[in-house]
Structure 1
């Protein structure tokens, strides 16, 4: 199956939609503000602001209010810096199956809030994979992406059924699984950087945030227990005859969480960008919009986590397992596992944010 038909967030604005279950991503976006602010300030100071048209893109924008939150914050920075511009073009990029209609319904509220003319600030939907070309040569000034680059262009080749009950790189996965995932990320991230290098003007900037891992050897620690518990949930359903064992053994999630030095080495070797700033932070699994609030009780926290993972993975599960899988059942079971986990350990996502300058 093609990547673009597998990966896509739950559309709409109902209880299982990404739009209503992306509080975690909102927290992540807010934590990128310091590096985002510094990057834009430095770019304007050193490169100046285009006299004619400034072009920027949100890569992997998804749907819901978070995308316009990013745009609104960037416009506030420009206002604080007293930037005068003739025209700004803002592109919202994601795969064609993304719920762009949801975004377009929110655009008017952005214009009303910022009191900016549409003729001077133009917002466009830009469907397409960021592992392909999106813009003409040397036309893009700034790119932002939050929690998107860790999604691979495809499930790594060569996995076959080596991973069995695992659906990702688990501590029990064989060595060839780790190698396949690592090679796929190296290819994808290198291509991502190369393509943006072709599209971006000299001195253009890019700010990226993605989930990483804390150890170099992915077999030494389970940094992705949230996926391990989803695998355990599916394995239980195999044992009960609800889904087929072969279907589970052929299911793998196309996500890779790199070690920090691993990502930095790819940036250096690819050569289009220089790494200007970097930071790491943790965001708890049940983050929902307020980073200062304590954990809820385990059940409420587990439901937040389950709803978030469901919004991300339900289209993938439905595509692979078909009508035999009932996602209400899957994520009720999954939430129970998460609640048991959170009663013992308050887990968080290890997140990296980097600022790059086009050479």
Structure 2
């Protein structure tokens, strides 16, 4: 994802991702409401996996905190201590995130019209296909539009020429290789999160889906075919 806030940055080209985050708000609200009512934690650890950078990074966090703050006021409880962990790969533009923290906190307080006792925000760089947090340390873990990316290119697809992902011309062994790699990745992801979540914690994951049974359906793969076509055109114009 392109960092910064320029014309080609992810921050200014992530409208679709923001729309998905907005559509899943009722599910997040239900999850965090159930968590808070059942456990009434005085310290709440929240993680967003695959946070990238830009306005979407803080959207989930701010909405989650607002739900908790409304609940705790209704129940006449003291505001919990918030520990927010923002995760993405090592190359993510965490500098841009941290430079906007003061503005984020100020805007959040103004929107809620109340002071929170403590809100700490940390960067948690690394692959979410590995352990990221200590055992039983997280209350709510969220990930949106990130788990479609595999931990690595599946083995045995080196001869899948002309393509950068699955397509209608992909042989069956390539489809199988991607399928098996995804199964391994997703199972390991769930195993890691199960160790990190406290008892009664919540995990909410949003994934790209498709209506067609064909793995190369344009419901989810059209962008990769277009990108592959562009890359082939660029290569053909290179003068050796």
Structure 2 alignment gaps of length 5 or more: none
CA contact 1:59–1:93 (8 Å) conserved in 2: yes
Return the alpha-carbon distance in structure 2 between the equivalents of residues 225 and 207 of structure 1.
Answer: 26
Return the alpha-carbon distance in structure 2 between the equivalents of residues 239 and 114 of structure 1.
Answer: 51
CA contact 1:54–1:88 (8 Å) conserved in 2: yes
Secondary structure of 1:42's partner? helix
CA contact 2:69–2:79 (8 Å) conserved in 1: no
CA contact 2:136–2:198 (8 Å) conserved in 1: yes
Query: Counterpart in 2 of 1:142?
Result: 140
Secondary structure of 1:165's partner? coil
Return the alpha-carbon distance in structure 1 between the equivalents of residues 108 and 222 of structure 2.
Answer: 41
CA contact 1:171–1:222 (8 Å) conserved in 2: no
Query: Counterpart in 2 of 1:100?
Result: 94
1:36 to 14, 18, 28: 28
**189-198 or 74-83, larger mean C-alpha shift:** 74-83
Query: Counterpart in 2 of 1:57?
Result: 47
Return the alpha-carbon distance in structure 2 between the equivalents of residues 42 and 119 of structure 1.
Answer: 22
Query: CA offsets per residue over residues 19-68 of structure 1, 9 Å max, x none?
Result: 121122111111110111111122223x22213x1111010100111111
Query: Counterpart in 2 of 1:200?
Result: 197
Query: Counterpart in 1 of 2:65?
Result: 75
Query: Counterpart in 1 of 2:218?
Result: 222
Query: Counterpart in 1 of 2:210?
Result: 213
Tell whether 2:180 aligns with 1:183.
Answer: yes
- Cα distance, 1:230 vs. partner? 1.2
Q: How does the TM-score come out when normalised to structure 2?
A: 0.90
Tell whether 2:128 aligns with 1:130.
Answer: yes
**82-91 or 133-142, larger mean C-alpha shift:** 82-91
Secondary structure of 1:160's partner? coil
Q: What RMSD over aligned residues (CA atoms) do the two structures have, in Å? A: 1.8
CA contact 2:45–2:140 (8 Å) conserved in 1: yes
Query: CA offsets per residue over residues 167-211 of structure 1, 9 Å max, x none?
Result: 111011111111111011100000000000011111100111121
1:91 to 85, 89, 106: 85
CA contact 1:111–1:117 (8 Å) conserved in 2: no
Return the alpha-carbon distance in structure 2 between the equivalents of residues 131 and 70 of structure 1.
Answer: 21
Q: How does the TM-score come out when normalised to structure 1?
A: 0.61
CA contact 2:79–2:116 (8 Å) conserved in 1: no
Decide whether aligned partners of structure 1 residues 117 and 127 sit closer, same or farther in structure 2, where only a CA change above 3 A counts. Answer: farther
Query: CA offsets per residue over residues 191-250 of structure 1, 9 Å max, x none?
Result: 00000001111110011112122223325x3331111111112222333346x8xxxxxx
CA contact 2:164–2:228 (8 Å) conserved in 1: yes
Decide whether aligned partners of structure 1 residues 135 and 38 sit closer, same or farther in structure 2, where only a CA change above 3 A counts. Answer: same
CA contact 2:3–2:10 (8 Å) conserved in 1: yes
Counterpart mapping for 1:253-332 below 5 A: none
Query: Counterpart in 2 of 1:111?
Result: 105
Structure 1 alignment gaps of length 5 or more: 1-8, 245-359
Query: Counterpart in 1 of 2:39?
Result: 48
